[in-house]
Amino acid sequence: MRAITPRTASKKPGPDKWCRREVLGHLIDSALNNHQRFVRAQLMDSLDIPGYAQNDWVRCQGYAEEDWAALIDLWAALNRHLAHVLDRVPAAALSTPVRIGTDAPTPLEEVIVDYLRHLEHHLGQI
């Protein structure tokens, strides 16, 4: 990511598409939201947690104007911490049902796998 210039990171691929800064900001939001899910699901028999309006979050936080290097640093630090958290999840907690917004409950293990899949998808966009 550091090879991408700040100017390039600001270019939108289309009028209704996120620039790279916004995609990375979305990944930051995803890390923060999933951190809550990963930890809280270990503390409860089941977890109901709100979803989030991703476009509104990206817009409200102004990721398109955020310093590119600062976004990279924040994203990297959050994901290093998430890797640490995930290494510590007890096997028994992996089956904890997690309901995100109005979706059907999903075992924590599937929430984790979906986070990683989502992360890889958006990294490919960057």
Instruction: Tell me the three state secondary structure of residue 18.
Output: coil
User: Do residues 113 and 98 lie in contact, with contact meaning Cβ atoms separated by under 8 Å?
Assistant: no
Tokens of 36: 């809550």
* pLDDT score at 75: 98
Tokens of 4: 């991408």
pLDDT in tens, 32-91: 999 999 999 999 999 999 999 999 999 999 999 999 999 999 999 999 999 999 999 999
Q: What is the mean pLDDT of the chain?
A: 97
Q: What is the value of pTM for the model shown?
A: 0.95
**To 10 degrees, what angle do helices 20-43 and 68-87 make?**
20
* Strand intervals (E) in the chain: 47-49, 97-100, 106-107
Instruction: Tell me the three state secondary structure of residue 3.
Output: coil
- Domains (range + CATH), the chain: 6-11+20-125 (1.20.120.450)
